[in-house]
Amino acid sequence: MDFRLLGPLAVSVDGHEVPLGGVRSQLVLAGLLLHAGRTVTVVELVDLTWDEAPPSTARKQIQTVVSQLRLLLGDQSGGLLHTDSAGYRLEADEARVDVLRFLTGVADARCRLSTGDLQAAADRFRDVLALWRGRPLAGLPGAVVRSHANRLDELRLTALEETAEIELRLGRARHLIPELRALRDTHPLRERITGLLMTALAAEGRRADAIAVYHDTAATLRNELGVEPGEALRDAYLDVLREPHRAAPATDAAAGPRDGTPPAVAPAQLPLDVRGFVGREAALAELDGLADAAGSAGAVVVSALSGTAGVGKTTLAVHWAHRVRHRFPDGQLYVNLRGFDPAGAALTAGEVLHGFLTALGVPPPRIPADVVTRSALFRTLVTGRRMLILLDDARTADQVRPLLPGAPGCLVLVTSRDGLTSLVAAEAAHWVPLDLLSFDEARDLFIRRVGSGRAATESDAVATIIGCCARLPLALAVAAARAATQPKLPLEVLAGELRGGDRLAALSTGDAGTDVRSVFFSSYRALSAAAARLFSLLGRHPTAEFSAAAAASLAGLPPPQVRPLLAELVRAQLVSEPAPGRYALHDLLHEYSSRLPHDDEPPDAATSRMLDHYLHSARAADRLLEPARDQVPAGAPGAGVTVEAPADHQQAMRWFTAEHRALLAAADHATRAGFDRFAWLMAEAAATFRYRRGMWHDQVAAQRHALDAATRSGDVAARSSAHIHLARTHLRLRDHDQAEAHLRAALTLGRQHDDPGGQAQTHHYLGALREQQGRYREAVQHGEQAVDLCRASGLGFGLGHALNALAWHRVRLGRHHDAVAPCREAIEVTEKLGDRSGQANAWDTLGYAHQHLGEFGPAILSYRRAIDLYQDLGDRYYASVALTHLAETYRAAGRPDPARQAYLRALDGLDELDHPDADGVRAALSQLDAAGPEVRLPPFTAGD
């Protein structure tokens, strides 16, 4: 099967042409062939098939066309045309597709040229040019097709020009003149063709004709484009005037032999290696592997060493280059491209090539004027040589491309703060990302510079300095330099400056190349205006890690508009993307961002949007954790706020897990910034998640912020809620004094302000407190009051939990039969409300009642129902409680093996929570394994 695009689209099988159907089928096939070997998305195929306003059925029509193509191509098995989740992929290599044969042939011809075999190069070029049958994809409509056809036409013209240059060097000027005249007539504005025609005419002694061609082209350029001829064409004209007998192409400006033999110059331009280099073993090993490949690869080996400002890219690159320079006997070229230099503009490729050509022995007067010709000469001179080329601090891939050799043997190492993705994609560069130092590497760097004795006596201060420097090599080097140049300065004093003040000021050197703020600024100023604004706003985020939705809210932009800006920040290495959709800055960049000016809106606007994002996203997730509980009204999110809405309970738990640190920090930030309502509403929204994950110390911190905020704002209901949450959490921690104090405060507020719901909750937890204290009769009394208040006030959600608590207290009082009825009513109430947490608690209590009535079968079934529900809810603590109850039931029933398994599962959960109840379970397990007497664990508090 043969696919031909270099002319009208055609497909043949065994020499017989296959009918391709309508225009739409041909367009889809062309799109797949133009990207043969990679998946083409449906969106791309739609864009190619319909220039404007595709129909609503476009996706379905593409699917139909692909099915038809399979029939036309005899590919019912899918071996040729593959479907995956993203789109379609046509597997075809150069043996089947004329475009691929052409591209491979051109590369092969250029490779032969690099070895000096002009005849073989010319023959190969002519072979692949014969593949062309006319305008690519002739007859097919559409802007996308035209764009591809123009690109292919440009490749053909370039190949024709290169062929003509080679054949001129072979002395075939007379043969070329008619072909070059025809090309010039078709492309009168293409100066390279005009220069070749002039050279060919002059070589045949037709100097006047060559001069006439120049003046005719110059007039056309002025009339059509309003420009003068370029440098290369002017140089060709001067060559005709000065040396009419010379038969060399206009692009050949090299000094020395015309066969491309390089002059005997071995430059050694590497900068001084850094003394005391430490760490980076993995990156060094990766680079060593590239050096090995450079000796055997069929192409130039290019590596892109990428990382954020100050991460030590240059230091690593120079150190490694010195380590392997003996493997590159023909020399080492180095240039600082100044892509992000705070003190000056980036170097152009032309400037760099001038320096490289001079280093390679080309006299300055013979260095070509234009970048393209300089690049060609540079490639010629390094062909066949084993050279190491270090391009430091590149701004973009385009700055680097003209500096790349064209033949194997050389290794190019590029460092950049930009990710250089296009260099990786187009030139297959090997990407080596460089991250912050590990703690051990950072400590070694600091110790090497200040001395091991001094660091050993103040090891805590060293650890603080490393943390304050965010393990960034530049910051560590500056801090170490301060310590080294002030040997009497205690390291603790330096650590205190970094810990308690302006870290960036403490790391200032006054030198643009080593000052941390200046280095950061040089990356910041390279951003687009929109990305720079977003970066400055990220400093208002309370943590260094954030989601795309949080960034969108800070910026007040829709997520589709903020994602390209985040991608720009990632490419600039100012932000990392540790997981899809999750972003982070290291601490020093976060601090730098927080100090950037942002005058485009009131100072509190972005903060308010950010807090709104976390509050309303947390409330959306919380609704999925406890859908039966009524939420406190919070109003609507403000304009420009993106709210994340998980789809189900599992997604809600994952969202809280990912955002928990940010929620804590946002609540703290809201408290300090005077956004009191945000502080206590966010504490309320995350409370259920923290209970289920056993995050009790975080719960205490969040509810204390909530209590302070509610007290300042005078919101009585919020104060009462915070007191109850604090009491509930202290009960989990077995801190009875704190629980009692908060419950008494809540009860007072509830009575003063006639809040039956608050009073019911307070009696509920007072019952739990009395039960923990062994005062079971009082526990029952509080439980009965909670039930009565809930019934009287119609509090359905609270009633289910109050009934369960009452049942538990009766069990603890020994009234096992009296506990069954409220348990069953609690199950009925919570099932109607869809309150799975309440159901789990009631099933656990019912199991406990059956267990103590000697009814082991119903007890085991009840516990299993409770455990399944707790695990579905992600409630690790109460799942462990129910597992412990189940283990005790198995043990009482004389079944030690399942008892042991249940104990072990409970112990895993409690150990993960670092809960003190784990010790009792561990003791019970030990006695079970020793076949000792049955140990009755103190009962856990009933689920709440």
pLDDT recorded at residue 76 = 59
Residue 545 phi/psi, 5° resolution? Answer: -115, 145
CA nearest neighbour of 683 among 627, 643, 723, 629 = 723
- Residue 222: per-residue pLDDT: 86
The answer to whether the CB of 619 falls within 8 A of the CB of 688 is no
Pairing of the two strands 388-394 and 81-83: unpaired
Q: What is the DSSP string of 232-263?
A: HHHHHHHHHHH-TT----TT----S-TT-PPP
Using CA atoms, how far apart are residues 415 and 746, in angstroms rounded to an integer? 62
Domains observed in the chain: 2-118 (1.10.10.10), 171-252 (1.25.40.10), 281-432 (3.40.50.300), 439-516 (no CATH), 527-601 (1.10.10.10), 622-817 (1.25.40.10), 818-929 (1.25.40.10)
For residue 539, CA distances in Å to 543, 544, 555, 607, 610 come to 9, 8, 12, 10, 12
Q: Give the C-alpha separation, 615 to 609, whole Å.
A: 10
633: how many CB neighbours lie within 10 A of its CB? 6
CA-closest candidate to residue 255, choices 381, 389, 168 = 381
Distances (CA, A) of 422 to 400, 569, 734, 801: 11, 16, 59, 60
Integer Cα distance of 763 and 781 in angstroms: 9
Extract the tokens encoding 689. 């998640």
pLDDT score at 258: 37
Query: Which residue reads 């089947």 in tokens?
Result: 96
Handedness of CA 525, 527, 528, 530 (dihedral sign): negative
Residues 30-75 have pLDDT tens digits of 999 888 878 888 888 888 888 777 888 888 888 888 888 888 887 7
Which two structure tokens, joined as six digits, stand for 127? 């072979």
pTM over 0.75: no
Nearest to residue 517, comparing CAs of 310, 336, 370?
Answer: 310
How many helices (H) and strands (E) would you count in the chain? 42, 14
pLDDT at 513: 67
How far apart CA 32 and CA 38 sit, in angstroms, is 8
Q: Is the pLDDT of residue 264 over 70?
A: no
pLDDT in tens, 68-109: 888 888 775 567 888 877 788 888 887 888 988 898 888 888
In whole angstroms, give the CA distance from residue 803 to residue 539. 49
Q: Please say whether the dihedral angle defined by the alpha carbons of residues 855, 858, 864 and 865, taken in this order, is positive or negative.
A: negative
Strand order in the sheet with 332-336: 332-336, 388-394, 411-416, 301-306, 430-433
CB atoms within 10 A of CB 799: 23
pLDDT (tens digit per residue) in 186-232? 899 899 999 999 999 998 888 888 888 998 998 888 888 888 888 88
Give all strands of the β-sheet with 81-83 in edge-to-edge order: 40-41, 87-90, 81-83
Residue 16 burial by CB count (10 A; 0-12/13-18/19+): exposed, middle or buried? exposed
Q: How confident is the model at residue 260 (pLDDT cuts 50, 70, 90)?
A: very low
CB of 388 closer than 8 Å to CB of 325: yes
**∠ CA 877-882-883, rounded to 5°:** 95
**Considering only CA atoms, which of 472, 511, 481 is closest in space to residue 312?**
472
Predicted confidence (pLDDT) at residue 298 exceeds the cutoff of 70: no
Distance separating alpha carbons of residues 304 and 414, to the nearest angstrom: 5
Q: Residue 272: exposed, middle, or buried by beta-carbon count in 10 A (0-12, 13-18, 19+)?
A: exposed
